[in-house]
Amino acid sequence: MKITIVQPETIWEDKLVNIKNIEQMIHNQSGKTDIVVLPEMFTTGFTLNAEKLAEVSEGETFNWMTNLSVRGNFAVCGSFIIRSANKFYNHFAFVTPQKEYFSYDKRHLFSIGGENEIYTTGKNRLTFIYNSFRFLPLICYDLRFPVWSRNRGDYDVLICVASWPDIRRHAWNSLLKARAIENQCYVVGVNCTGTDNEGFRYAGDSVVIDPLGKILGQVNEYEKGSATVEISLSELQNFREKFPVWKDSDDFSLNI
């Protein structure tokens, strides 16, 4: 499977410009990749202005993703802001050329930045299957919580979409590798570049990591760009069989 990580320079709260920029970045990917991964809140940047910018879950951004997926014959995923029953969610969507749709609402809201005061916590952990691979999506701050992302034999690829400022980039880079190693899975981490309305800069550091914690592909720091990486389910399965750490893992249950 080929995965394309897209690291745009996100323009603050400008949906039309951000969509146009992403389209320009991936216009030649048709037939060359299986999945295109976009950052957290890729249409707006990480913002608390949900009242102004929220959509319904199957609104304009979802429709754009679906059309792009069908035209390019690849799946598309990333997060954007939705409103449901008068509540706001940081909403991850994964759409396929077959018009399948998988969604996840961010579980761990960044209370340090006030995200929990505007958005509602997601209740459900999601895993899903696409092209024989099993996926677990996370959104940004979720990455810091290993219990939530613990592999219980239910996924092969962890996708984390983020708006992660460069002042904490060491944590981002370290946690992505840790999640890959401890869960014996591929990790796809996609972040943006640019500067937001609060003056925070974003380095990107978008990357694909193998189960040993080795970088398979990445985008240059502080630059918009993309990279396509091929991952192998058979190689992952062989590694897990030869080094079955999962057999010694602790059993537990989550209170959701």
Average pLDDT of the segment spanning 107-135: 98
Average pLDDT of the segment spanning 244-248: 93
Phi first, then psi, for residue 93 (nearest 5°) are: -125, 140
Structure confidence at residue 183 (pLDDT): 98
Q: Is 176:159 a contact under the CB 8 Å cutoff?
A: no
Q: Is the pLDDT of residue 238 over 90?
A: yes
Q: Is 32:2 a contact under the CB 8 Å cutoff?
A: yes
Distance separating the N- and C-terminal Cα atoms of the chain: 32
Per-residue pLDDT tens over the stretch 12-54: 999 999 999 999 999 999 899 999 999 999 999 999 999 999 9
- The Cα 67–Cα 209 span in angstroms is 29
Q: Is 8:226 a contact under the CB 8 Å cutoff?
A: no
Three-state SS for 37? strand
Q: Which residues of 17-36 are buried (b: 16+ CB within 10 A; e: fewer)?
A: ebbebbeebbeebeeebbbb
pTM above 0.75, yes or no: yes
227 burial (CB, 10 Å; 0-12 / 13-18 / 19+) is middle
What percent of the chain shows pLDDT beyond 70? 100
Neighbours of 225 (CB within 10 A): 16
Structure confidence at residue 253 (pLDDT): 86
Structure confidence at residue 221 (pLDDT): 98
Q: Is 135:154 a contact under the CB 8 Å cutoff?
A: no
Q: Is the pLDDT of residue 256 over 80?
A: no
Amino acid at 139: I
Q: Is the pLDDT of residue 150 over 90?
A: yes
State the average pLDDT for the chain.
Answer: 97
Q: Is the pLDDT of residue 167 over 90?
A: yes
Q: Is 89:106 a contact under the CB 8 Å cutoff?
A: yes
Structure confidence at residue 234 (pLDDT): 98
Domains of the chain: 2-247 (3.60.110.10)
**Sign of torsion over alpha carbons 42, 134, 140, 54:** positive
Q: Is the pLDDT of residue 76 over 90?
A: yes
Q: Is the pLDDT of residue 100 over 90?
A: yes
For 173, the token pair is 């880079």
pLDDT tier for residue 254 given thresholds of 50, 70 and 90 = confident
Structure confidence at residue 252 (pLDDT): 86
**Active site positions, annotated:** 40, 106, 140
